[in-house]
Amino acid sequence: MKGTKLVGKEMSPLVIRRYSVRGGSPCFVALITDDNLDNLDDVVLSYIEQNPLPETLQGLRNWAGLLTKHLCDKFPKTEGCAVILYADKAVISSLSGDFMHHTPCRLELYSLLCFMTNI
The pLDDT value given to residue 1:
41
Reference 53, options 94, 21, 28; nearest CA is 21
- What single string gives the DSSP state of each residue in the chain? --SS--SSGGGPPEEEEEEEEGGGEEEEEEEEESS--TTHHHHHHHHHHHSPPPSSHHHHHHHHHHHHHHHHHHSTTEEEEEEEEEETTEEEEEEEEHHHH-HHHHHHHHHHHHHHHT-
What are the residue ranges spanned by the domains of the chain? Answer: 9-117
Position 73 pLDDT exceeds 80: yes
pLDDT tens per residue across span 9-66: 556 789 999 999 987 889 999 999 999 999 999 999 999 999 999 989 999 999 999 9
Architecture of domain 9-117: 2-Layer Sandwich (3.30)
Position 4 pLDDT exceeds 70: no
Position 83 pLDDT exceeds 60: yes
